[in-house]
Structure 1
Amino acid sequence: MIVPKPARFETRLGRFVLDRETALAADPALGEVAAWLRGELSPVTGGQLLPGRPGPGTITLGLDDLAPEAYRLTVAPDGIEIDAGGPAGAFYGAQTLRQLMPAAAFRRGAAGGPLELPAVHVQDAPRFAWRGAILDVARHFMTKGDLLRFIDLMAVHKLNVLHLHLSDDQGWRIEIKRYPRLTEVGSWRKESQVGWMGEMDGRPHGGYYTQDDVREIVAYAARRHIRVVPEIDLPGHTQAAIAAYPELGNLDTPIEVSGTWGIGSNVLNVEDATIAFFKNVLDEVLELFPSPYICVGGDECPKDQWRTSPSAQRRIRELGLRDEDELQSWFIHQFDDYLAARGRRLVGWDEILEGGLAPGAVVASWRADLGAVAAARSGHDVINCANTSVYFDYRQSERDDEPVPFGTVLTLDDVYAFEPVPAELRGDPAAAHVLGAQCGIWTELIDSNRRIDYMAFPRLAAFAETVWSGPERDLPGFRARLAAHLPRLDALGVEYRHESGPLPWQTRPGVPGRPEDPDAWQATIDAWTSNLRNAR
Structure 2
Amino acid sequence: MRRRLLAPALLLLATALGCTEAGTAAPAPGPAALPATEPEVRPLGRIIPLPASVRPGGAPYTLTAATRIGVPDHPGVRAVAERLAARLRPATGFRLPVVTDPAADLVLRLDPAAGALGDEGYELRSAPGRLTLTARTPAGLFRGVQTVRQQLPAAVERDTAQRRAWKIAGGTVTDVPRFPYRGAMLDVARHFFTVEEVKAYIDRIALYKYNALHLHLTDDQGWRIAIGSRPKLTEVGAATEVGGGPGGFYTQEQYKELVRYAAAAHIEVIPEIDLPGHTHAALVSYPELTCDGKALKPYTGIEVGFSTLCAGKEETYAFADDVLREIAALTPGRYVHIGGDEAKSTSPADYRTMTDRIQPLVTRHGKQVMAWHQLTGDATPAPGALIQYWGLDRTTAEEKEKVAEAARAGAGIVVSPADRAYLDMKYDEDTPLGLRWAGTVSVERSYDWDPATYLPGVPRSAVRGVEAPLWTETLSTPEHLDTMAFPRLPGLAELGWSPAAGRDWSTYKVRLGEQAHRWDALGLSWYRSPEVPWPAAAEPPA
TM-score in terms of structure 2 length: 0.83
Structure 2 counterparts to residues 433-472 of structure 1, below 5 A: 433-472=462-501
Q: Runs ≥4 in structure 1, deviation > 6 angstroms?
A: 501-507
| 2:389 is aligned with 1:365 | yes
Corresponding residue SS for 2:296: coil
Look up the match of 2:152: 101
Question: For residues 145-180 of structure 1, what are the alpha-carbon distances to aligned partners after superposition, in whole Å with 9 as ceiling and x for unaligned?
Answer: 110000001000000110000000000000111111
Look up the match of 1:491: 521
Look up the match of 2:280: 239
Corresponding residue SS for 2:489: helix
Structure 2 counterparts to residues 72-111 of structure 1, below 5 A: 72-111=123-162
| 2:369 is aligned with 1:346 | yes
Aligned-CA RMSD value: 2.3
Structure 1, 359-368 or 491-500: larger mean CA deviation: 359-368
Look up the match of 1:289: 331
Question: For residues 219-268 of structure 1, what are the alpha-carbon distances to aligned partners after superposition, in whole Å with 9 as ceiling and x for unaligned?
Answer: 00001010000000011000001101100112343112211112142211
Look up the match of 1:38: 85
Change beyond 3 A, Cα 1:44–1:62: farther
Which letter does structure 2 place at the counterpart of 1:63? Answer: D
Contact 1:376 1:431 in 2 (8 A): no
| C-alpha distance in structure 2 between counterparts of 1:204 and 1:161, whole Å | 28
Contact 1:139 1:444 in 2 (8 A): yes
Contact 1:133 1:440 in 2 (8 A): yes
| C-alpha distance in structure 2 between counterparts of 1:114 and 1:166, whole Å | 44
Look up the match of 2:349: 326
Change beyond 3 A, Cα 1:506–1:123: closer
Question: For residues 84-138 of structure 1, what are the alpha-carbon distances to aligned partners after superposition, in whole Å with 9 as ceiling and x for unaligned?
Answer: 0211110111110111111110112344775222223101010000000111100
Which letter does structure 2 place at the counterpart of 1:233? Answer: D
Question: For residues 297-318 of structure 1, what are the alpha-carbon distances to aligned partners after superposition, in whole Å with 9 as ceiling and x for unaligned?
Answer: 1111123xx6xxxxxxxxxxxx
| C-alpha distance in structure 1 between counterparts of 2:423 and 2:133, whole Å | 34
Contact 2:372 2:387 in 1 (8 A): yes
Change beyond 3 A, Cα 1:235–1:405: closer
Look up the match of 2:360: 337
Change beyond 3 A, Cα 1:487–1:114: closer
Which letter does structure 2 place at the counterpart of 1:274? Answer: T
Change beyond 3 A, Cα 1:60–1:230: closer
Look up the match of 2:94: 47
| 2:50 is aligned with 1:5 | yes
| C-alpha distance in structure 2 between counterparts of 1:368 and 1:505, whole Å | 31
| C-alpha distance in structure 2 between counterparts of 1:372 and 1:157, whole Å | 28
| 2:175 is aligned with 1:124 | yes
Look up the match of 1:185: 236
Look up the match of 1:398: 429
| C-alpha distance in structure 2 between counterparts of 1:406 and 1:425, whole Å | 25
| C-alpha distance in structure 1 between counterparts of 2:272 and 2:250, whole Å | 14
Structure 2 counterparts to residues 135-534 of structure 1, below 5 A: 135-189=186-240, 192-193=242-243, 203-270=244-311, 271-303=313-345, 324-360=347-383, 361-368=385-392, 370=400, 372-399=403-430, 402-407=432-437, 408-423=439-454, 425=456, 430-472=459-501, 473-500=503-530
| C-alpha distance in structure 1 between counterparts of 2:463 and 2:448, whole Å | 17
| C-alpha distance in structure 2 between counterparts of 1:275 and 1:458, whole Å | 42
Contact 2:211 2:266 in 1 (8 A): yes
Contact 2:92 2:161 in 1 (8 A): no
Question: For residues 40-84 of structure 1, what are the alpha-carbon distances to aligned partners after superposition, in whole Å with 9 as ceiling and x for unaligned?
Answer: 223333232121522363334332513111100011102110010
Corresponding residue SS for 1:336: helix
| C-alpha distance in structure 1 between counterparts of 2:455 and 2:377, whole Å | 20
Shift, 1:433, TM fit = 1.1
Corresponding residue SS for 1:14: coil
| C-alpha distance in structure 2 between counterparts of 1:176 and 1:109, whole Å | 42
Which letter does structure 1 place at the counterpart of 2:109? Answer: L
| C-alpha distance in structure 2 between counterparts of 1:386 and 1:351, whole Å | 13
Contact 1:101 1:117 in 2 (8 A): yes
Contact 1:372 1:422 in 2 (8 A): no
Contact 1:52 1:58 in 2 (8 A): no
Contact 2:92 2:156 in 1 (8 A): no
- Number of aligned residue pairs: 475
TM-score in terms of structure 1 length: 0.84
Corresponding residue SS for 1:127: coil
Change beyond 3 A, Cα 1:261–1:60: closer
Change beyond 3 A, Cα 1:423–1:249: same
